[in-house]
């Protein structure tokens, strides 16, 4: 089966253009869409996500209301702010950035948001509507995956979709959207017996160092990687942050690629995804595993030098030029 690369950046441009046009029509009719985002604490990763949301809103004609509070902000104070935003007719959506400080119950916070303004689709009401095939709001990441499949007219109906992970944020809602589109669903989780049975169709399996060690029960990275190899993929690799990456080829050869240590680190959000994307692109171009690892390492390293998971991604020209000099 020939692999097909979905150009997520181009698709995002099309979707944002549509959103901007719809927002402009609403504004012209006297009702500017408004999104309120609440951040409690000073997590750098959360701050990046929140700023990206604010930037996206402003670029597409949506009024952004950003409320930032210290980690000492109490649960009662947060619930009161949500109550006020629920009643504000100029606020059409509410997002509370997770995770929250330990003294705040995220379930209470999520359920306090008006279901009609619950943009994450985390509330019991909205997840129930999703379960029964009547989604009023679709969860962001799963909906994005469906949009990507739609963009290439992928025949989801009748397809067998395997989802590794059963979280409330991605795995479960993803299964519901695929099921409603006519797919046959298999959901795997940490308790799945013989995970390899479900993953043997994979040509390449790349996981984080943390996942490899946790799944295999091995503290030594080589042994953990060997454990992942038993899942049946022809090529298995792990990323290990500043320690680089390691891979076992189909013939059992172990390959290592160090990280580029001369690159500045501004924001590591999305570095793992960048590595996976870079590896996949180079694999389709050359099939040379050492070159794939080197290219992916450069792509991820350059991404870390800029702010933002998407905005920080380097261009192909930047990666090629960097590799020519290293």
Domains, the chain: 8-118 (3.40.50.10860), 121-192 (3.40.50.720), 197-318 (3.40.1190.20)
pLDDT value at residue 203? 41
- Residues annotated as catalytic are 53, 97, 120
- Element housing 202 (H / E): none
pLDDT of 149? 84
- Which pLDDT score is estimated for 145? 84
Which positions of the chain have pLDDT values less than 50? 1, 202-206
Residue (of 285, 279, 277, 283) closest to 309 by Cα position: 277
Q: What is the pLDDT of residue 220?
A: 77
| pLDDT for residue 201 | 58
| pLDDT value for 202 | 46
- pTM for this predicted structure: 0.65
* Dist CA 98 CA 39 (whole Å): 8
Q: Residue 215's pLDDT is what? A: 67
3-class SS string, the chain: CCCCCCCHHHHHHHHHHHHHHHHHHHHHCCCCCEEEEEEECCCHHHHHHHHHHHHHHHHCCCEEEEEEECCCCCHHHHHHHHHHHHHCCCCCEEEECCCCCCCCCHHHHHHHCCHHHECCCCCHHHHHHHHCCCCCCCCHHHHHHHHHHHHCCCCCCCCEEEEECCCCCCHHHHHHHHHHCCCEEEEECCCCCCHHHHHCCCCEEEEEHHHHHHHHCCCCHHHHHHHHHCCCCCEEEEECHHHCEEEECCCCCEEEECCCCCCCCCCCCCHHHHHHHHHHHHHHHCCCHHHHHHHHHHHHHHHCCCCCCCCCCCCHHHHHHHHHCC
Helix%, strand%, coil% for the chain, nearest 5 = 45, 15, 40
Query: How confident is the model at residue 98, as a pLDDT?
Result: 86
């Amino acid at each position: 089966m020939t692999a097909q690369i979905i150009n997520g950046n181009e698709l995002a441009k099309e979707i944002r253009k549509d959103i901007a046009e719809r927002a402009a029509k609403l504004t012209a009719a006297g009702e500017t869409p408004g999104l309120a985002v609440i951040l409690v604490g000073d997590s750098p990763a959360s701050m990046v996500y929140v700023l990206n949301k604010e930037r996206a809103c402003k670029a597409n004609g949506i009024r952004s209301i950003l409320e930032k509070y210290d980690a000492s902000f109490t649960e009662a104070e947060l619930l009161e702010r949500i109550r006020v935003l629920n009643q504000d007719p100029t606020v059409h959506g509410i997002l509370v950035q997770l995770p929250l400080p330990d003294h705040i119950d995220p379930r209470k916070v999520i359920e306090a948001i008006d279901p009609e303004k619950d943009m994450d689709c985390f509330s019991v009401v909205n997840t129930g509507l999703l379960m029964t095939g009547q989604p009023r709001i679709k969860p962001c990441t799963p909906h994005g995956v469906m949009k990507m499949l739609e963009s290439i007219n992928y025949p989801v109906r009748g397809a067998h979709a395997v989802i590794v992970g059963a979280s409330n944020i991605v795995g479960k809602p993803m299964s519901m959207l695929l099921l409603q589109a006519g797919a046959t669903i298999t959901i795997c989780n940490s308790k799945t017996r013989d995970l390899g049975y479900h993953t043997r169709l994979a040509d390449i399996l790349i996981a984080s160092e943390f996942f490899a060690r946790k799944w295999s029960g091995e503290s030594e990275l080589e042994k953990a990687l060997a454990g992942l190899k038993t899942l049946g993929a022809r090529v298995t690799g792990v990323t290990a942050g500043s320690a680089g990456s390691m891979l076992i080829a189909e013939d059992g050869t172990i390959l290592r690629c160090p990280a580029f240590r001369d690159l500045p680190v501004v924001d590591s959000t999305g570095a793992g995804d960048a590595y996976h994307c870079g590896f996949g692109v180079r694999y389709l171009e050359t099939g040379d595993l050492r070159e794939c690892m080197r290219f992916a390492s450069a792509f991820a390293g350059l991404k870390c030098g800029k702010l933002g998971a998407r905005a920080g991604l380097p261009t192909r020209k930047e990666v090629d030029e960097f590799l020519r000099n290293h």
